[in-house]
Structure formats: structure tokens, C-alpha cells
Amino acid sequence: MVKARIKTVFFSRFRNASYTVGRNETLIIGAYVSRAAKRAAELSIDLAGDGGRVLMCYAYSGCGTDVHALRISVTHRAPRTVANIFGRGALSGNASSTILGIARIEKNAQQADTYFSHHALLLSDAARASATPSLEIETDDVLAGHAASTAPLDQDSLAYVRTRGMSESAATAVLVNGFLSHDVNRLPNELANRFYRSFRLCKSLENT
Amino acid sequence: MLEKRMAALQVFYTKPLPTWGGDVSGIDFDTIYYYVKPTKGGAKRWEDVPPSIKETFEKIGIPEAERKYLAGVGSQFESEVVYHSLQEELQKQGVIFLGMDDALRMHPAIVRKYFGTLVPASDNKFAALNTAVWSGGSFIYVPRGVHVALPLQAYFRINRQSMGQFERTLIVAEEGSSVHYVEGCSAPQYTTDSLHSAVVEIFVKKGAKVQYTTIQNWSDNVYNLVTKRASADQDARMIWLDCNIGSKLTMKYPSIILRGRNARGEIQSLAVAGSGQHQDAGGKVIHAAPDTSSTIVSRSISRDGGRTSYRGLVRVGKTARNATVRVVCDALILDPSSRSDTYPTMIVNDASAKVAHEATVAKISEEALQYLQARGFSAEHASSLIVNGFAEPIVQQLPMEYAVELRRLLELEMTGSVG
């Protein structure tokens, strides 16, 4: 039995970073970003060893003139490598986000499994979101998928929470919290705790 | 028109080749014949048609006369009769269905009003080339409130005038009318031309409905670089149904601009790439009005080292309140040497839009294969059944005779691909 080596990382701001995941290693990334970086960040993950895995859950909130720009590229170079990336963002004011996810499965990465999802919530008329989840697959024995969505806050849910006695802004904050932390239970406790500790919506979002 | 052509030629010279998508560096623009008189096609001999093409005709059961026409060595005479009776029927309703060259001569006012307004010469290098050298293509004008019952098929019309490689098609559907246009054929079209670069412009007026069905099966030396665009006004509905099986490289992204309230757009595409082929297809939808909705469904199959790419764009503009978008792309890869890519882009500039996208890429599931084999199917037959099932949601929307041929063709394509 090979002992799995696990490495965990937490981000509170998107920045350039690159990781190489070796044989039977696991990389786990948690991120909660409430302040936009000045420029586009690039995160590249290289699954170079047989059985290497990456799990990433990130969430961000943006308001004012925040611009979240993130490019995540995952390259499966070895067989049986697994990548699961879950992202969520809530945008209000004039905030915008541009998320580019590129999963690449190379020829010899048989039985690779890759998944990327990105869901954005638009809370104001001027908020904008753009998402491009790309796949480049050069072999056949793989599982690959992605999902992306953009939508406003569900008015029915909002009405429901408000009938429980909350103001509109409090109800919105509850729903946005729930939306952003939806995938966090996939993270190990230590990272999930850091996620919740750093969790804070930007001011205008709280007062929406 | 000559002025338009000359201006477009200048644009063509100045525009660079696209740097994204498929490899187009193999095209030598200087060796292409830009205009071949239709009668010239008849000079070729049946004996010159490659055996692989003849064999396919045999297997999917195409009648002898039709085979010769498809191979570009003859023309079919029976359909002349069909064409004339169809033409009479249409004239009674006021529908104009002509070759583009005839239309320019007979209805210059309509052509001038619409030509190049949706796809201007400056749109891209190949649209510029088409505008400069176009010949052939279809022209359809459906008057207000008229519903054309039978699908109009280029197949009937083309026999009078051979299909060019730089076709220009223009369809105008006036208020409350509907029409279904079918181009292409599921049989492989043998041609010595190396570049096919068409432009299609469609205007769907208020409350009208247009469906444009394409079945493309060029022989595998052809670069198929096509610009297709439709505009849909209020309550209009536009459907692109696009099946790409042949060619060396196809780059085709049927587009719909939803510019009237409650307009609907639908793009359904199927791509099959075999050895040495690259199908770079997809769709574009621009939401520019409130309450508009669109659906893009793409299915692709790659095998024997073929490559399929889905490349799509969905843009929801500021003025498009309550837009809904659904994009689904699924890909099947049949062997380790094949490749499949997905490049969807979604740009949402309005908070009330509901946009969802999903994609999957996988090989044929071992379980499904074993299940069928346990029921007595050979491995080859079982995988051919699965592939056909995968393509079925698109194929079943085709007119019946095309669907039957396409199913047979898929079976044929799969022969020898497993085991």
C-alpha cells in the first residue's frame, strides 16, 4: 500500500502559482477571495505522476469595481490522475469576473478523470461574468466534464427566507453565503475552517 | 456588385488568417480556381472517382444516376421534373426560390437590401473572399404569412446549376412566415476543389420561423470554412441543424443574433471526425433583446486519430433582460489516438440572465458494450449501436430520408473502428 502524501494550500487572494503533483500525491486547495487582485492571476497545476490528484474549492465575492480574473490550467500528464475543481462567485455593484479553466489530458494520461465547475451569481444590473471552461483531450479512456452557470438570485428562495422574518439584505446575505460555501464540505476540516474564518462578503453585498 | 466584389477583395488581402481553430496553413490561395463554369463539371469521368467513394455509394444504397451526380460527373434528369412542379407550387404562394446568380438578375432590389448586411465582407478573411468571388448558392424569399409546407432542398435546384465552392445563400422570411431549407447530402461529395468557403445570411422577421439543415460530407481533401449567420426579430424562431461528417478541416459556427423581444434560437450540431479530419464546429448566440432564449446542443464523435472541437460563444448583452441560455456538449472518443476539445465562452452582462452550460467527454462505456455483447451482438455491432444512439437526438430531427441515410453512414463509418 502506497502512502498518500497530501499537501494543502489556502488562498485569500488570487495570485500566480504553479504546482507539480507527483506519483500518488494529493494537492488540496481552498480559497476564499473577497478582495480582487490588481491583475489577472494564473494558477497552473501539473499532474505529473501516476495517480496524482488535485481538489480545489474556491469562492470569491466582488463589489464596487472589483475585477476577478483567474486562469486555472490543469494538465494531466500521467495515467490515473484526477482533478476536481469547484468554483463559485457572487458579484454586485460594477464587479466582474473572468474565469478561464483549461483542462488538458495528454496522450499517455489514460484513465484520467477531470471535472471543473464554475457558478456565478449576479446581484446587480451592472455586474458581469464571463466563463470559459475548456477541455483538450488527446486520449480516449477518460472521464471529463465541466459545468458553468450564471444566474440572478432566486426570487422564490428570497421570498421564503424573508417570510421567516429577515430583512431583504439579511436574507440576501444568507442566500449568498449558502451559495458560496456550497462546495466547501468537500475540503478537509482544516481548510474548511479557514474558508469560514476568512468568509466575509464585501460591504455593499451585505447591504444589498 | 462588381464594386462590392472589388472592395471585398482588398479586405481579403489585408486580413490575416485566423490564428485559432484548425490548421489552415495548407491552403494555397493561388492554386484555387475561383470560378468554374457549371458545364465543365461534366467533363470528368466516372472512372476518375476514387474507389473509396464509389464503395460508400454502394453501401448506403444511392441510385446509379444520383451517384454520378454526387461524384460530380453527371447530372440527374428526373429531378428536373420535380423541380419544375415544385417551382409552380411555390410561385402560387409568392415564394421565390432561385440560384443566387439568377436572383441577382431577377430581383436586384431585394438582394441589394439584404446582401452583406449580416455578414459584411470585413467580417473575416473567408467572408471577404466569398464576397469577392461568390457564385452559386440559394436565394429564398418567403412573403408575409406564407408557410412553405415541404422542406426546400438545394438538391433539387442545384441540378440545374452545379454547386460552387463559394456559395452565397440568402434567406428572407417575412413576418409570420415559415420555411425549412435543407442543403447538402449524406453521400460523400467528391470534388477536386480544395476549399469550400460559403456565406449564409438569414433574416427571420417578426414571428417567422426558419430552420436551416445542413448535412456536410465533403471528401477528406476539402477545407470547409463557412460563415453562417441569422438574425431573429421579435417572436421569431431560428433553428440551425448542422451535421458535419466529411472534409479535412471544417470551421463552422452557425450564429444567431436575437434582436427582437422573445426571439428564440436553437443550434443543434453533430460532428464526426475520422482519420486526418478536424471538425471545429460549434455555435454563437448573441442575446440583444429582452426575454430571448437559446439552446445549443452539440454532439461529437472522434475516431482513428480524428479531432473534434466544440467552439462556442454565448453573449448576453445589457439590454437582454431575462434571457435564458442552455448549452450542452457531449463528446465521444473511440480510440486513444483521437482528440476532443471544448472551448465554450460565456459572457453575461445582465444580472437577470439564466445561463447554464455543461459538457462531458468520455469513451464508449465498457458496461454498455458488455451488456450488448451479452445479448449476442459482436463488439463491432455493439459499438456501432451505441454510437448511433449517441447521435440519435440530433439525427432524429432530420427529414426522414436524410436521417435514414445518416444512420447508415454512421454504421459504415464505425465499421472496423473497434477490435
The interface predicted TM-score (ipTM) is: 0.78
Pick the residue from chain A with its C-alpha nearest to B303: A140
Residue type (1 letter), B392: E
Residue B339 to residue A124, Cβ atoms within 8 A: no
Q: CA torsion angle for B155, B159, B161, B166 (degrees, to 10)?
A: 30
**Interval A10-34 mean pLDDT:** 92
Task: Give buried/exposed letters for B222-233 (b at 16+ CB in 10 A, else e).
Answer: bbbbbbbbbbbb
Pick the residue from chain B with its C-alpha nearest to A92: B351
Residue A137 to residue B354, Cβ atoms within 8 A: no
Q: Which three cell numbers stand for residue A31?
A: 480559497
The pLDDT tens digits for B134-153 are 887 889 999 999 998 888 87
The pLDDT tens digits for B186-230 are 555 656 557 888 899 999 999 999 999 988 877 777 888 899 999
Residue A37 contacts B, CB cutoff 8 Å: no
* Residue B78 pLDDT exceeds 50: no
Classify the C-alpha dihedral B138-B56-B395-B63 as positive or negative: positive
* Residue A190 pLDDT exceeds 60: yes
Kindly give, in sequence order, each residue whose CB lies less than 8 Å from that of residue B102, ignoring residues fewer than 6 positions away.
B139
Residue B363 to residue A149, Cβ atoms within 8 A: no
Nearest to A135 among B342, B345, B347 (CB): B342
Kindly give, in sequence order, each residue whose CB lies less than 8 Å from that of residue B7, ignoring residues fewer than 6 positions away.
B121
Kindly give, in sequence order, each residue whose CB lies less than 8 Å from that of residue B254, ignoring residues fewer than 6 positions away.
B212, B228, B229, B230, B240, B242, B267, B269, B283, B284
Q: How far apart are CA B103 and CA B1, in angstroms?
A: 13
Angle at A161 between CA A157 and CA A164, to 5 degrees: 150
Residue A174 contacts B, CB cutoff 8 Å: no
The pLDDT tens digits for B386-400 are 988 999 888 888 887
Query: Between residues 301 and 360 of chain B, which touch chain A (CB distance below 8 Å)?
Result: 331, 333-360
Q: Which helix (H) or strand (E) holds B380?
A: helix B379-395
